[in-house]
Amino acid sequence: MNQASEFESVIDYRKKIAANTDWNSWKFQLQNRIKSSDLEKYFLLSPDEKKAIQDSIRLQIGATPYYALLANPVDVNCPIRRTIIPGLGETIISPEESPDPLHEERLSPVKGLTRMYNDRVLLFSNQECSVYCRHCMRGRKVSFNEERIDKDELDAAFHYLKEHPEIVDVVISGGDPLNLSDARIDYILENLEKIPSIKICRIGTRNLVTLPMRITDDLCKIIESHNNDNLSIFCNTHFNHEKECTQESKAAILKLIKSGVSLGNQCVILKGINDTGEKMLSLHKKLLEMRVRAYYMYDPEIIPGSRGFRTPLAKGYEIIEYMRGKISGMGIPQFVNDLPGGGGKITLTPKWYYGFHRESRQHLFKSALRGTFHLSPEPIDSTYDSVYEQVDPALWDEVKKDAMSVHNG
């Protein structure tokens, strides 16, 4: 079959499955999830993609037909396509990479729980996702049946939470917790609600991106029934690119909002996909239009086969610096690094503070909006002068005149 015929076959197959009367059923989407042997039905695969599919060393391949049809069938650089189909970087393990760089397994007091912080835990509710994203930092767990969490193991996790009242915040993750049945989601939320010390529940899901039809009226009723004075439920989702912001996703988001859930977005900087200020700005403008606030922007984790996605640390600084002044604060994520070795998250910001000039008792800042230097005085009765980083004398001499003129209007 020549390439033109292959292309026609791909287009015909896409049209056929999209026309299925059960297309809008989330169960249909999961039952027809695309596996490695199915990819050639949806895409004209390049030689490199074929090799990567065969030699991938990480998690399995899987994607809902809905998400696959958002991807370009021909362009190997399509951001959604790269999320679905392995690249050659995934066939190589670099010396610095680790299956569990955050030490989540070592910080697990009982199966299914990771406790990195004193007052909050991560609950692994399941091992299944609607799409197995190639940059997934939990590739060691998702898509593998041996990582399944059964009811007895959930109950053991709930018992641990009851015995540790200092824990007030539970993040439900996986896999994707919204791939669970309504009954299992109800069971988890009900048990969390019954523990007096648990005040906050955060659901981490990518289904708003990859399987928006999962947000059914019945699911929203379950969530709303537990979102009350005893338990405050939030949702963090994971859009990485403007192309993922569809009308279907927007409709699903509105359903969750009407059930009383606040939504935030966590994205990952991915090489060649969203690693520019322009692309991140476009994404977060779309998210605000869909009523989703920015939360975190992650530096990529050092996981096996991630060489094709990782970016220099400076990329994050460049992106935040570019976005500041072009979108409201609600649309600017915190740039974070989840430190290897279980060190937890730290926030990283571009250099906008240049130090304290002790003689004049002025702080020197650079405007993210205009690039100009500005002064701000330390309070007269402050005793913190010795705490501040001292401004570079040469820089002070260079910019003080202009900074003072801005300060004086």
> pLDDT, tens digit, for every residue of 330-343?
999 999 999 888 89
Closest-CA residue to 133 (of 31, 60, 43, 33): 60
Interval 103-127 mean pLDDT: 95
Q: Where are the alpha helices (DSSP H) in 107-150?
A: none
Residue 58 has pLDDT above 90, yes or no: no
Which residue carries 């002790």 as its tokens?
358
pLDDT of 94 reads 85
Q: What is the DSSP string of 298-329?
A: EPPP--TT-TTT---HHHHHHHHHHHBTTB-G
Find residue 344's DSSP bridge partners.
339
- Over range 66-94, report the average pLDDT: 95
Express as a percent the part of the chain with pLDDT over 90.
Answer: 82
For residues 71 and 83, what is the distance between their CA atoms, to the nearest angstrom?
9
Mean pLDDT, to the nearest integer, of 171-186?
A: 96
Where b means 16+ CB within 10 Å and e means fewer, 12-41 reads: ebbeebeeeeeeeebebbbebbbeeebbbb
What are 266's strand-pairing partners?
Answer: 296
Q: Mean of the pLDDT values across residues 188-200?
A: 98
Nearest-10 crossing angle of helices 182-194, 151-163: 20
**Would you say residue 302 has pLDDT above 90?**
no
Which CATH architecture best describes the domain 113-348?
A: Alpha-Beta Barrel (3.20)
> Which single residue is written with the structure tokens 């053991």?
156
Residue 97 has pLDDT above 80, yes or no: yes
CA–CA dist 353, 390 (Å, integer)? 11
The C-alpha atoms of residue 312 and residue 299 are separated, in whole angstroms, by: 9
b/e for 347-376, b at 16 or more Cβ within 10 A? eeebeeebbbbeeeebbbbbebeeeebbbe
pLDDT band for position 56 (50/70/90)? confident
The per-residue pLDDT for range 209-244, each reduced to its tens digit, is 999 999 999 999 999 999 999 999 999 999 999 999
Name the pairing type of β-strands 353-357 and 344-348: unpaired
Token digits for 225? Answer: 């029934």
Enumerate the domain spans of the chain.
Answer: 3-77, 113-348, 353-407
pLDDT of amino acid 138: 85
The DSSP symbol for 37 reads G
User: Do 235 and 262 form a contact (C-beta atoms < 8 A)?
Assistant: yes
The helix-helix angle for 277-289 and 313-323 (nearest 10°) equals 60
- How does the average pLDDT of the chain come out, rounded? 94
Q: Measured between alpha carbons, how far is residue 233 from residues 163, 259, 314 in Å?
A: 22, 10, 34
Q: What is the dihedral of CA 226, 233, 174, 107, to 10 degrees?
A: -110
409 pLDDT above the threshold of 60: no
| Residue 171 confidence (pLDDT) above 80 | yes
